[in-house]
Amino acid sequence: MTAVIPIHADAGCTDSPVLMERGQREVFCGLTGIIWLHRKMQDAFFLVVGSRTCAHLIQSAAGVMIFAEPRFATAILDERDLAGLADAQDELDRVVKRLLERRPDIRLLFLVGSCPSEVIKLDLSRAAARLSQEFMPQVRVLNYSGSGIETTFTQGEDACLAALVPVLPISTQQHEPELLIVGALADVVEDQFSRLFTAMGVKRFAFFPSRSSTALPAVGPQTRVLLAQPFLGDTAKALESRGATRVPAPFPLGAEGSAAWMQAAGSAMGLSADAVEQAIAPARQRAETALAAHRASLAGKSIFFFPDSQLEVPLARFLARELGMRLTEVGSPYLHRQHLAEELAWLPTGTQLSEGQDVEKQLDRCRAAQPDMVVCGLGLANPLEAEGFTTKWSIELVFTPIQGFEQAGDLAGLFTRPLTRRTLLAA
């Protein structure tokens, strides 16, 4: 028996028009992705080649105590580098050697490009290849760009994982499918998914990125890619170029989304829908029970999404279908129609979708709509709060474990708490 996800191609917002905007943006750059990637990849180190502004951004976003020793740092480009008075490649080699002497636990080193390094045309790919040749097999050196010139903050993860794909081992599996769950997940979420996949009867599955760079998952024609995050377009494309096949599915947010995601995984692995449902039923019931209390607070409330993380469409689907919220506008930095096909089909018909941003025009639309809640970046939250709007920081939805059944209630709570706070302040 084959699992069928209850989505109709002609439903929802599959063919809805999208408002395309290409004006001023208010977003973090891709360097911010280091904050959750360095926690996930426990023997990796992220060396940003950038300015003091880059260093301050990452330190502030991470909230790292001064006494902590995190797995990221910034090789600061100073005036001598920018003026061409010093050989930036030699300077970078010197910094990397000092770093590896101090931190012998590093097994994977990422050289992360920034706006300054790209402006002066510093070739980090050549540096990574040279350094990797010098330090392998002890340390592998790769590079990717976290520059904010072209990217939003979640695309940093996409660029990082895409850079890892070429070094993944070749799968020797010839006949039976292997499931590869792609996207950085909190360890607690990964462990929960592992237990559910095992209960379903999935024998071969792995997560990418893995917790250790010495245990990278293999990939090949039998690999079935299940995306856990909606912002991994380049990574998915790179995996498909290695012969893998992407599994169409909504994303695992809420009880309904998580169940459909699990059913898609089971179908790709040849399992029956009944077997999958039996395995996930207790967790799904717990999620639905947890959501019921939040629905009473959120049903009927309106919400407006500014584009920031690319999580906007799956979050909007969750809030509309499972919590009864009204969507006034759902903006996203980039709308990947193929990866979001199942999500778009589940959105209420007539939902206003926008891609990209012209921040002043979007602020005008938000003020006109007067939503009960606004999801936006940090740069817009305080000004909107000053105008009387209730806001939710979109970056918190990336830093917080929100995927899966056990996190469904916590995800809903991220939206009920701002309204509760507003009520208490008004009283």
Count of all residues that appear for the chain in the document: 427
Question: In angstroms, what CA-CA distances link 171 with 186, 201, 243, 264, 320?
Answer: 26, 21, 10, 22, 40
HSE at residue 208, side-chain half, CA atoms within 13 A, is 31
Place of tokens 């089971």: 266
Feature table: binding site? 29, 54, 115
| DSSP bridge pairs for 374 | 304, 391
Domains and CATH numbers, the chain: 18-25+293-426 (3.40.50.1980), 30-151 (3.40.50.1980), 178-277 (3.40.50.1980)
Feature table: binding site for [4Fe-4S] cluster? 29, 54, 115
Q: What is the CA radius of gyration of the chain?
A: 22
Q: Which of 46-60, 303-317, 345-359, 393-407 has the lowest mean pLDDT?
A: 46-60
Q: Supply the angle between the helices 408-426 and 273-298 in degrees, to the nearest 10.
A: 0
pLDDT tens-place string over residues 233-275: 999 999 999 999 999 999 999 999 999 999 999 999 999 999 9
Q: Which of 45-54, 128-137, 307-316 has the lowest mean pLDDT?
A: 45-54
Contact 414, 396 (CB under 8 A): yes
Contact 26, 51 (CB under 8 A): no
* Rounded Cα distance, 36 and 82, in Å: 30
For CA atoms 135, 82, 119, 53, the dihedral sign is positive
Q: Check whether 68 has a pLDDT greater than 70.
A: no
